[in-house]
Amino acid sequence: MAGQTILLVEDDPDAVAALRAVLEAGGYRLVCVPDSRRALASIGDVEPDLIILDIMLESETAGFELAYHLRNPAAQAPYARFARLPILVLTGMAQVRQMDFSPRTNVSFLPVDAYLEKPVAPAVLLGRVAALLRTGHREEE
């Protein structure tokens, strides 16, 4: 549904510009942060409906670590209220590191709801975002 807020965690300014153009044209409100530390610091203020997350941020594993923090459902966990927030990984990791991940096959290793490889066609991105916002949880791929 248009008008919802997406927290984009992406450190590449060119990718941010391209994603901003696509997502804002799709009617979404976009809040961008360049690293996992700022994502955690701002998530409570932003109250996003969805997170789009790059994997390789300030380190090659920062995106994984952020997903683990957010997926910790323990009541005492600092981000427990976001444990069911849809997370879409959008990364070029397979190209850079020849690693292939899928939430369907690697859910314990990559605790997110959907995975797209960069570059992604705008229609594919918008379709996946709409599906995740509609269902609010993991998609079958």
> Distance between CA 81 and CA 71 in Å, rounded?
9
pTM as predicted: 0.86
Taking only the tens place, the pLDDT of each residue in 23-55 is 999 999 999 999 999 999 999 999 999 999 998
Cα-based distances in Å from 121 to 21, 60, 84, 90, 126: 13, 24, 26, 12, 9
Q: Is residue 130 part of a domain?
A: yes
- The answer to whether 63 and 92 are in contact (CB under 8 A) is no
- The answer to whether 138 and 113 are in contact (CB under 8 A) is yes
Q: How many CB atoms lie within 10 A of CB 21?
A: 12
> Distance between CA 33 and CA 54 in Å, rounded?
11
More confident residue, 107 or 44: 44
Q: Is residue 140 part of a domain?
A: no
pLDDT at position 98, please? 46
Q: Is residue 38 part of a domain?
A: yes
For residue 10, the enclosing domain spans 5-135
Overall number of domains in the chain: 1
Q: Is residue 141 part of a domain?
A: no
CATH number, domain with residue 71: 3.40.50.2300
In single-letter form, the type of residue at position 107 comes to: V
Mean pLDDT along residues 106-120: 79
